Structure 1
Amino acid sequence: MSKEYNSALQARVEQFLKNKGISQAKAAPMMGISQTALSQYRRSMYDNGDIAALESKLEEFFRTQEEQQASTERAMPYRSTQDYIPTSISEDVCKLIRYCQIEKGMVIIHGDAGIGKTKGAEKFVRENPAASVYIQATPSIGTLGNLLKVVARALKVPESRNKLDLMLSIREKLEGTNKVIIIDEAQHLQLRALEEIRAWADPNPITGQPGVGIALIGNTEVYARMVGKQEARFAQLFSRIRMNRYYSTRKVTSEDVKALFPKLAEDGKTKELTFLHGICQSKWGIRGAVNVYNNAVNNEDISHEGLYGMARTMGIGLV
């Protein structure tokens, strides 16, 4: 077993930690090694381990980093420099959540996938971190007990195995605040979970304190369940809806597309923009169009032919 250390690689590790401003504990899993191994390697004390194998992992990590950086630099002129690109839908979602916060009660934000609903919610949370509780529901979070645990953790409420105690602690934490609870992918919530959170939007009958805003975001199932065949079961929920808003891919505008793909707009690439607009208004939505464009950028061909070919390769059509 070799006891020789690659001093240049060790220096690169040190430079990486300095440039990223991250701790050794955070860097180690990124590099695919243990914190102990990284610590010993940095001090040239990894003599009981396989130095060659460890350095091979580090070289692979830095090689991948270089390739990712090169890809990012190549794509930079073709992509927006903004983290958030305002579109008519995402901006409307953000405003609707603000309405929910101010007016209390529940709002239902639903519609087609990949059109900016989550982006609008993320913008609201970034701008209002103290007033927002954002949760992305999954099938496992959809039960009452699990939802209470996730909300409690977000509110820094001590978790309890007793659902009643946990619910009371959450209500106490929320009362008198201007918080808004935003639950994305809300179609995963089970009826008991929905019934519980709707109570958070109600005023306290004893203190008179108003409830908080509840914004449910998801596909149309989350709203259809309340007004369809099971309307009687959801009557209490339905009566508390202050507003519901349906968003379709058909509502994506040409101005939205220009904002999403500024390089094409700057270069007057009308044909390319029209093609991507078609994808945006199809079942693939904005997300599909962005994926096609990004892959075409990586393929170094954002012409109409390049976009069309990439869409075909990805199995994305305009239907």
Structure 2
Amino acid sequence: MSNIVTLGKQAITHTDILMRVKALIESRAVTGAQLGREIGVSAAAISQVLGDSYKADPAAIIEKIASWLELREARQARPVNPGFVMTHTARQIMDDMTYAHVTQSIAVIYGASGVGKSEALRHYASHNPNVWMVTASPCRSTLTECLYELAMELGMEQAPRLRGPLARAVRRRLVGTEGLIVIDEADHLDYPTLEELRILQEEVGIGLVLVGNNKIYTQLTGGRRNEDFARLFSRIAKRRGIHKTKQNDVKAIADAWAITGQGERDLLQQISERPGGLRLLTKALKLAALYAKDEAINVQFLKAAFTELEGIE
């Protein structure tokens, strides 16, 4: 059996393949167990092949390792997804969250979908202590379900399911934490749930951030506003409406993806103005990066990605 495999366009020996993998493992870029999982081979077999103690012919495993290396190098060659980008809007949202957190007050952030609200929330929650984020939904809109979801986020695996005992258990858990509760998609919540969260925030001395589309603000100030909602509205210390994608946000994302061409940046701006805003923009960039492989993302790749995402024939 041949002792040569093709890696990319280059013929390479089994020995060289194994040396590359050993170097990756020694540098802690990957573990033998991880490599085994990704190519469908046991960690023991990987260890034996690398240690030259595999009883059978290792050629089939080395072929899999070669394919894995080729895919890994292809991923590294293409434009790198920068992940979270600190846009102007993201900074505003996190400043609002910091205010609510530090002053133990209520902030409401509302507006258009796809402007980066949820990404900013998750980034703040992952970089600050005692921040508990819950995403509301139609099945988690009632008081009991919302409180239970919060209890799970608080690590209360044995939380009661009855509303009264559950509310008291959550209160006991939050006392003295000086934390921040973040409710994304809060427009799904009904009035009793909003009022319970308001009372909870006041009683235990924590911050509360309610985030959603325009409905969450309409619930507090619009046609449904009565004495009860007015009482809740009066407790809101900070409000921020974000109704469209900002040009500076698009520029920040283009910079993070190392896209400098004016044609490409103009197209990114046009995509961001579609429904979905920055969410659609980021999806288009990720798909364009796949199309580009080891080339720079250009207008052609961006148009192809956008066309594919929009289902345009």
How high is the TM-score relative to the length of structure 2? 0.73
CA contact (8 A) 1:288 1:316 kept: no
Residues 39 and 65 of structure 1, relative CA distance in 2, 3 Å threshold: closer
Residues 257 and 169 of structure 1, relative CA distance in 2, 3 Å threshold: same
Q: Any idea what SS the aligned residue of 2:178 has?
A: coil
1:153 Cα offset (Å): 2.0
Letter in structure 1 aligned against 2:217: Y
Letter in structure 1 aligned against 2:98: R
Residues 79 and 31 of structure 1, relative CA distance in 2, 3 Å threshold: closer
The counterpart of 1:289, out of the listed 281, 295, 298, is: 281
Aligned to 1:48: none
Instruction: Determine if the alignment matches structure 1 residue 150 to structure 2 residue 142.
Output: no
The counterpart of 1:262, out of the listed 255, 264, 280, is: 255
Instruction: Determine if the alignment matches structure 1 residue 231 to structure 2 residue 225.
Output: yes
Structure 2 matches for 1:108-187, cutoff 5 A? 108-128=108-128, 130-157=129-156, 158-187=158-187
Equivalenced residue count is: 280
1:192 Cα offset (Å): 2.2
1:303 Cα offset (Å): 2.1
CA contact (8 A) 1:110 1:218 kept: yes
1:237 Cα offset (Å): 2.1
1:165 Cα offset (Å): 1.4
Instruction: Determine if the alignment matches structure 1 residue 311 to structure 2 residue 306.
Output: yes
Aligned to 1:72: 75
Letter in structure 1 aligned against 2:215: E
Once residues 22 and 108 of structure 1 are traced to their aligned partners in structure 2, the CA distance between those partners, rounded to angstroms, is 47
Once residues 127 and 262 of structure 1 are traced to their aligned partners in structure 2, the CA distance between those partners, rounded to angstroms, is 23
Once residues 44 and 300 of structure 2 are traced to their aligned partners in structure 1, the CA distance between those partners, rounded to angstroms, is 53
Provide, for residues 145-164 of structure 1, a one-character-per-residue CA deviation record: whole Å limited to 9, x for no partner.
Answer: 11111211222334113321
Provide, for residues 92-132 of structure 1, a one-character-per-residue CA deviation record: whole Å limited to 9, x for no partner.
Answer: 1111001011222321111112221112112211221x320
Q: Any idea what SS the aligned residue of 2:183 has?
A: strand
CA contact (8 A) 1:272 1:303 kept: yes
Aligned to 2:209: 215
CA contact (8 A) 1:249 1:283 kept: no
Residues 166 and 20 of structure 1, relative CA distance in 2, 3 Å threshold: farther
**Unmatched segments (≥5 aa) in structure 2:** 1-20, 47-60
Aligned to 1:273: 265
1:22 Cα offset (Å): 9.7
Letter in structure 2 aligned against 1:184: D
1:64 Cα offset (Å): 9.6
Once residues 67 and 275 of structure 2 are traced to their aligned partners in structure 1, the CA distance between those partners, rounded to angstroms, is 34
Aligned to 1:106: 106
**Unmatched segments (≥5 aa) in structure 1:** 1-11, 43-57, 205-209
Tell me how large the CA RMSD over aligned residues is: 3.9
Q: Any idea what SS the aligned residue of 1:201 has?
A: helix
CA contact (8 A) 1:249 1:280 kept: no
CA contact (8 A) 2:85 2:256 kept: no
Residues 40 and 68 of structure 1, relative CA distance in 2, 3 Å threshold: closer
Once residues 266 and 314 of structure 1 are traced to their aligned partners in structure 2, the CA distance between those partners, rounded to angstroms, is 20
Once residues 229 and 304 of structure 2 are traced to their aligned partners in structure 1, the CA distance between those partners, rounded to angstroms, is 47
Once residues 143 and 67 of structure 2 are traced to their aligned partners in structure 1, the CA distance between those partners, rounded to angstroms, is 42
Once residues 272 and 315 of structure 1 are traced to their aligned partners in structure 2, the CA distance between those partners, rounded to angstroms, is 18
Residues 194 and 41 of structure 1, relative CA distance in 2, 3 Å threshold: farther
Q: Any idea what SS the aligned residue of 2:287 has?
A: helix
1:230 Cα offset (Å): 1.2
